[in-house]
Structure 1
Amino acid sequence: MKDFKNCKLCEWRCGVNRLEGETGICHVGLPEVAYTSLAYILKSYSITFLGCSFKCLYCNAYRISQYPDTGWIYRGYIEPEKMAREALDHLESPLAKNIGAYRLSFTGGEPTIHTPYLEELVEKIRRFRPSIEVGVATNGFSTMKTFKRILRIVDFINFEIKAFNDEIHRNLTGAPSEPVLRNAAYLAEKAPEKVRTFRTVVIPRITDREVPRIAEFLSEINEEIPYRLVGFRPNFVLYYHSGPSKGLMEDLVKECEKKGLKNVDYSGYYPLKAKDLDYYPKKLGCPLPRNCGECKFKDECKGILMEPWLFK
């Protein structure tokens, strides 16, 4: 953990002694866990870390990323050995087997600001399960040295490019775009097999104009790189900013394909016409009118895991 003593893990390179409680831009000392979960989408045991090197205006996890300033209280620091045992126990649980969870993933906040902790945790887990897959979701703002360390321990990366233009990136996140684009280029060129996806949140009138340029940037490196557009949901400072329509998302996919990318998709949009209330319980397979206490499906309710983007 010595690298926390003079922390220069992200591109802010604050140099603070996090072991002694000093904090830089991320406002966190020792790595702290917000919560853990068995993630249905990633089929993984997911560890969510507190703190972030960005201050995004649209963050949908700002209570986590801007910790401790938001006043929310979470799990806190957990010794790597204890966290490793917990992860392995949960991956052996009936629920993990039921949803097919078999790997480990890190998210946040921004997990790469805790890289030494991640390295120690992965090393301890792989003593017992050498072949376990490990993944990370990142904003890409680590130093190149830190990013190479992350690449050595993970099998897949979800890499978010929030904007291409530096001014837009700064105004949206509070940080410059150059380190992010540098690391994105390195990943796409040197380790494309570890890319689960690059992604950009589509914010109408803010990042929608950035998407084609990001697609062109990626296609010039590797036209096979997967790129996912994610529909913005009003949040945080942009709580009253509108989300994208389905038409906008589809048009942007086409623009990305015109730029040369072959593997582009999207998720999330705002329907132009509101649905009647009955539409949603029916999607869950609920008998109407709903009566949960006497429902024959009460022990296997789809509403527990079902979220809008999973509707079929």
Structure 2
Amino acid sequence: MTKCELCGYESEEISEAIGVCVNCLRKNPQKALKKVMRSHFKWRELINLPSLPPQTGEISCKICVNECQILEGNPGYCGIIWNKKGKLVPITGSFDYGYLHWYLDPHPTNCVARPVCPEARHRGFCNLAVFFAGCNLDCLFCQNIEHKYMIKNGNIDPLAGIIISSKELANVAMKREVSCVCYFGGDPTPHAPYAIKASREIIKRAKDIKSTKRICWETNGLENPSIMKEMAKLSIESGGIIKIDWKAYTPQVYEALTGINGEKALQRIKGNIKLISSMKTRDEPPLLVVSTLVVPHYIDEEEVRKIATYLAKIDPEIPYVLLGFAPQHLMHDVLPTSKKQMEDVYHAAKEEGIKEVYIENYWLLR
């Protein structure tokens, strides 16, 4: 049982890493965030990553909403993009190469878009799962935290991943059993130039052999809109899906959970969702799927309802996937999502007019 450091409210769903309740984050954000950010700073110091998106460097990165201004010889917040002799370069030294690990995941996979994905029915085929190192967020609940250890102290760990060229990755995608490619991690955002290059090569080769190779993205949705537009074009052309993980609606809750500026993040997510929706050229499969991890206590009915309200205004046919939470990383002390909380947020999303609301990772619910 953890007590909120500000109001004294006690609950087994309050994480020690956050230290405050969701109501204090909303009503007293300045004091609440000051306490939460201590956990982010302490953790990031352990793996030698910037505490906040740097803003004092000579060169500015525009790949994502953080817009890091990076000093010579230092990384951006993601740990992937560096300032090397006045140029932005990835940790691999070139955008022709990615740092990742990949595997073939037989259909049906545990994909966020599984309820609406046509490949879920294609048994005998596989998804090429491309797991990137690094991320432009610092989620306290991260469900795949190994991506941060892959770049600990600014080094590439050859035991955790490989450096592979965009053409070599395209070779893997040409395996007969591969019907789709999904970029995730971490997040594909810091690797977007590489992933876009690889995807163009994959689509070109797939057309030459008259094969289906869907290009999909699991992302936090914080890309520069010009990059997001290119990602969407590739998914449209290949029949793939963009899956945006919307963490929270209240800026202070978003900031507490992820470590970055919540106001800026919310504006970017909203803008990119609107952008992708405006590019919609088909109903099946949907171009866009939005998901939210239902973190106990913090992602409550209010958060999900507001996300659903926004989505419904843009397009009520955007599929919305609610994900069960497993205790991980710095929020290992929190219980899994309760069935009651999931029922409450599900009904809230439906009440706001979303036509397709799904519950996934339901086996985690308590």
TM-score (structure 2 length as normaliser) = 0.65
- SS, match of residue 266 in structure 1: strand
- SS, match of residue 358 in structure 2: strand
Matched, 1:104 2:181: yes
158-167 or 248-257: bigger deviation = 248-257
Residue of structure 2 equivalent to 1:259:
352
Q: 1:60 to 1:271 in 2, by over 3 A?
A: closer
Q: 1:133 to 1:268 in 2, by over 3 A?
A: closer
Pairing of 1:205-220 with structure 2 (within 5 A): 205-208=297-300, 209-220=302-313
How far the C-alpha of 1:224 sits from its partner, in A, is 1.1
Match for residue 140 of structure 1 among 216, 221, 224: 221
Matched, 1:54 2:131: no
Q: 1:215 to 1:113 in 2, by over 3 A?
A: same
Give me the whole-angstrom Cα distance separating, in 2, the residues matched to 1:66 and 1:165: 29
Match for residue 290 of structure 2 among 194, 198, 201: 198
Matched, 1:87 2:173: yes
Show structure 1 runs of 5+ residues with no match: 273-312
How far the C-alpha of 1:132 sits from its partner, in A, is 2.3
Give me the whole-angstrom Cα distance separating, in 1, the residues matched to 2:184 and 2:365: 29
Match for residue 325 of structure 2 among 219, 229, 232: 232
Aligned length: 257
How far the C-alpha of 1:197 sits from its partner, in A, is 1.8
Q: What amino acid is the match of 1:202?
A: V
How far the C-alpha of 1:250 sits from its partner, in A, is 2.1
Contact 2:246 2:269 in 1 (8 A): yes
Show structure 2 runs of 5+ residues with no match: 1-58, 81-90, 112-125
Residue of structure 2 equivalent to 1:113:
190
Contact 1:26 1:66 in 2 (8 A): no
Contact 1:35 1:49 in 2 (8 A): yes
Contact 2:150 2:160 in 1 (8 A): no
Residue of structure 1 equivalent to 2:269:
180
Matched, 1:38 2:104: yes
Q: What amino acid is the match of 1:139?
A: N
Residue of structure 1 equivalent to 2:361:
268
Contact 1:204 1:244 in 2 (8 A): yes
CA-atom RMSD in angstroms: 2.4
Give me the whole-angstrom Cα distance separating, in 2, the residues matched to 1:24 and 1:271: 36
Q: 1:26 to 1:271 in 2, by over 3 A?
A: closer
How far the C-alpha of 1:135 sits from its partner, in A, is 0.6
Matched, 1:74 2:160: yes
Q: What amino acid is the match of 2:102?
A: T
Give me the whole-angstrom Cα distance separating, in 2, the residues matched to 1:160 and 1:248: 19
Q: 1:66 to 1:11 in 2, by over 3 A?
A: farther
249-258 or 44-53: bigger deviation = 249-258
Q: What amino acid is the match of 1:251?
A: D
TM-score (structure 1 length as normaliser) = 0.75
Higher RCO (C-alpha 8 Å, min separation 6): 2
Percent of matched pairs sharing the same residue: 25
Higher strand share: 2
How far the C-alpha of 1:69 sits from its partner, in A, is 2.0
Match for residue 25 of structure 1 among 64, 68, 77: 77
How far the C-alpha of 1:112 sits from its partner, in A, is 2.1
- SS, match of residue 171 in structure 1: helix
Give me the whole-angstrom Cα distance separating, in 2, the residues matched to 1:195 and 1:203: 26
- SS, match of residue 183 in structure 2: strand
How far the C-alpha of 1:186 sits from its partner, in A, is 2.2
Q: Deviations over 1:153-196 (max 9, x none)?
A: 22311111000111110111112222122212322343374535
Residue of structure 1 equivalent to 2:202:
125
Q: Deviations over 1:59-102 (max 9, x none)?
A: 0111214541288642232111112112213xx2xxx3xxxx41
How far the C-alpha of 1:58 sits from its partner, in A, is 0.2
